[in-house]
Structure 1
Amino acid sequence: MRMKPLRILPMTMTDRAESVNGIVFSKDRKEVLLIKRRDVPVWVLPGGGIDPGESPEEAVVREMEEETGCSAKIIRKVAEYTPICRLARFTHFFECKMMGSPKATDETQGAAFFPLDALPEMPPPYAEWIADAAGNSSDMVRKKIKSVTYGNLFKHLIRHPILVFRFLLSRVGLHWNS
């Protein structure tokens, strides 16, 4: 039996997947809240995909609650980020305020505040996004996600093969929660 070749079709503006991320600062703005994911156990900003029919604002509030166990209120829209490859998604980035104390959930191994000058190792582009939000500009940032590339994926594959494998599984909808 002869197999058909795999066809990868480019995404159009109407069928692209979009995501959201939220950032929460401590009252003195010297610390930032990060969550440790279950599917790919790394420290990142809370966030995820936008469900069909959901606005970016609704999605970030839902994702914040799912990943921190706390309700959130949007303070401002920090940025919109456009991917340069299929590894990333168009992302709406919001600064939020937490209502309660963050904790581990079904989606996370933990949630904690980290000093801005002593952040844990994170995959790209989170450090850049934290810097954009910490800049505290009233102007919304619009830029490309230049740090999420196939070259960087390969570099991370050499350094952290299991984490990259788990990331790739999550990108195709297979989540390995531990």
Structure 2
Amino acid sequence: MKVTGVHVLLINSDNKFLLTQRKDVPLWVIPGGTVEKNEDPKKACERELFEETRVKAGRLILAAKYKVNNGVYKNLYIMRVPEFNIDVFIDKKEVKSYGWFTIENLPSPMSLYEISRVYDAVNFKGKMIERALSVNIKKEFLNQLKNPFIFLLLLASFVINRLTNKSFKL
């Protein structure tokens, strides 16, 4: 089983969670990124969290494993932080902004794909979720039509990735 992506949802004592806004396509996302060759997924999660927020990982709990295609997975971790607000220093190269949110107060714009993963993490009750996770491009584009600027950025990113044979990242 090959893990190619890792993400971690920090949850504070007020049950608010940390999301970051990407700089390339300004969608709100769970902090995380790519697992490097021969890197342990948990170590990759610690590295990505520190790179994007300067937060040192504490106890990471594997909340979900998402199968994205033939034997390739993405892991979602949660980490409880005791403080209401911890010191977060965002990586200005990758991250435009950050904030603490609740399920009732999600930021916009967010992809449907990302919202489903936030729900999985927030509703985690101790039993790891394992399921297929696919992006429905048509639904994602329709979801972003309410944000024309974001829609155009997503469309441009999708076309460029198709032309260069790269995978489309939400």
Amino acid of the structure 1 residue aligned with 2:9: I
Q: 1:133 aligns with which of 121, 142, 151?
A: 121
Match of 1:115 in 2: 102
TM-score scaled by length of structure 2: 0.77
The structure-2 alpha-carbon separation of the partners of 1:157 and 1:164, relative to structure 1 and needing over 3 Å to count, comes to farther
Offset of residue 103 of structure 1: 2.6
Q: Verify: 1:20 aligned to 2:1, yes or no.
A: no
Q: Larger deviation: 114-123 or 159-168?
A: 159-168
Whether the 8 Å CA contact 2:21–2:95 is kept in 1: the answer is yes
Q: Verify: 1:95 aligned to 2:82, yes or no.
A: no
Offset of residue 167 of structure 1: 5.6
In 1, Cα distance between the equivalents of 2:137 and 2:27? Answer: 19
The structure-2 alpha-carbon separation of the partners of 1:156 and 1:84, relative to structure 1 and needing over 3 Å to count, comes to farther
Q: Larger deviation: 31-40 or 154-163?
A: 154-163
Match of 2:25 in 1: 40
Offset of residue 129 of structure 1: 1.2
Q: Verify: 1:144 aligned to 2:142, yes or no.
A: no
Structure 1 gap segments, 5+ residues each: 1-12, 174-178
TM-score scaled by length of structure 1: 0.74
Match of 1:9 in 2: none
Structure 1's consecutive aligned runs of 4 or more residues displaced over 6 angstroms after TM superposition are none
Indicate the structure (1 or 2) with the bigger Cα radius of gyration: 1
Amino acid of the structure 2 residue aligned with 1:91: K
Q: Write out per-residue CA displacement over residues 52-73 of structure 1, whole angstroms, 9 at most, x where no aligned residue.
A: 1111101111111111122122
In 2, Cα distance between the equivalents of 1:168 and 1:38? Answer: 18
Greater helix proportion: 2
In 2, Cα distance between the equivalents of 1:38 and 1:77? Answer: 27
1:33-112 aligned within 5 A: 33-83=18-68, 90-97=73-80, 100-105=86-91, 106-112=93-99
Q: Write out per-residue CA displacement over residues 124-150 of structure 1, whole angstroms, 9 at most, x where no aligned residue.
A: 31111111111131100001114x123
Offset of residue 162 of structure 1: 1.5
In 2, Cα distance between the equivalents of 1:117 and 1:129? Answer: 15
Instruction: Report the secondary structure of 2:60's partner residue.
Output: strand
Q: Write out per-residue CA displacement over residues 27-61 of structure 1, whole angstroms, 9 at most, x where no aligned residue.
A: 131x1100011122111100111001111101111
Aligned length: 156
The CA RMSD measured in Å over matched residues stands at: 3.0
